[in-house]
C-alpha cells in the first residue's frame, strides 16, 4: 500500500451513534422555537431506533448540550445555542479521539506498538498534519453551520 491507499486504510468514519446525534441535534435546532421535542418525533423523522436515540440524547444531556422536560409537553431541547456547539465536542464525546492514529492524538495519546522510532516515522508526521487540519475545521464548525446548509 502507498500514498492515498494507505491514508484511506487508516481513515476513521463517524459512527452511527455520532451521525444520529448530529441528526437529532439538527432536528432540535430546527425546532428550537417549538420548545421540547419528543424522542419519537426525531426517531421517526430519521429512522432511528427509539431506544438507541434515547441513549444518545441522555449522553448529550449529561454533557450539557440538552435539557429535558417530563410530562405533558415534555421532551428534549437545546440548552446551548447552535453556534456554541462545536462539531469536535460531539465527535469526541461519542466517538472518542479525532486523530486517526493514537500516536498523534492530543487527548488520547498512546504510542503505536509497531513503531520503532516515532520521531522518524513518516506516517506519524503526515497524520499530525491531518489531525491539525481536521481539528482546525471541526473546532471552528458548529451545529449552526450544519443548520445553515439545510
**Can you tell me the mean pLDDT for 138-142?**
93
**Can you tell me the mean pLDDT for 117-130?**
83
CB atoms within 10 A of CB 135: 14
CA angle 61, 25, 43 (to 5 degrees): 95
pLDDT score of 7: 45
Separation between Cα atoms, residue 113 and residue 50, nearest integer Å? 40
Q: What is the pTM of this model?
A: 0.83
Q: What is the mean pLDDT of the chain?
A: 86
Taking domain 15-80, whether its CATH number is 1.10.10.10 is answered by: yes
pLDDT score of 145: 94
Question: What band does 13 get if pLDDT is binned at 50, 70 and 90?
Answer: confident
Q: What are 116's three cell numbers? A: 520503532
Per-domain residue ranges for the chain?
A: 15-80, 84-150
Decide which of 35 and 39 is more confident.
Answer: 39
pLDDT score of 51: 94
Share of the chain above pLDDT 70, in %: 92
pLDDT score of 127: 86
Each residue of 47-86: pLDDT tens digit?
A: 999 999 999 999 999 999 999 988 777 899 999 999 999 9
Q: Which residues pair with 142 in a beta bridge?
A: 86
Amino acid at each position: 500500500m502507498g500514498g492515498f491507499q494507505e491514508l484511506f486504510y487508516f481513515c476513521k468514519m463517524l459512527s452511527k451513534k455520532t451521525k444520529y446525534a448530529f441528526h437529532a441535534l439538527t432536528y432540535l435546532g430546527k425546532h428550537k422555537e417549538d420548545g421540547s421535542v419528543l424522542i419519537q418525533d426525531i426517531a421517526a423523522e430519521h429512522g432511528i431506533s427509539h431506544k438507541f436515540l434515547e441513549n444518545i440524547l441522555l449522553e448529550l444531556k449529561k454533557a450539557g448540550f440538552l435539557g429535558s422536560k417530563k410530562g405533558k409537553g415534555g421532551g428534549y431541547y437545546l440548552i446551548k445555542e447552535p453556534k456554541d456547539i462545536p462539531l469536535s465536542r460531539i465527535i469526541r464525546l461519542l466517538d472518542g479521539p479525532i486523530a486517526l492514529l493514537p500516536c498523534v492524538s492530543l487527548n488520547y495519546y498512546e504510542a503505536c506498538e509497531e513503531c520503532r522510532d516515532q520521531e522518524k516515522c513518516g506516517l506519524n508526521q503526515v497524520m499530525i498534519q491531518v489531525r491539525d487540519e481536521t481539528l482546525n475545521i471541526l473546532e471552528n464548525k458548529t451545529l449552526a453551520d450544519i443548520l445553515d446548509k439545510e
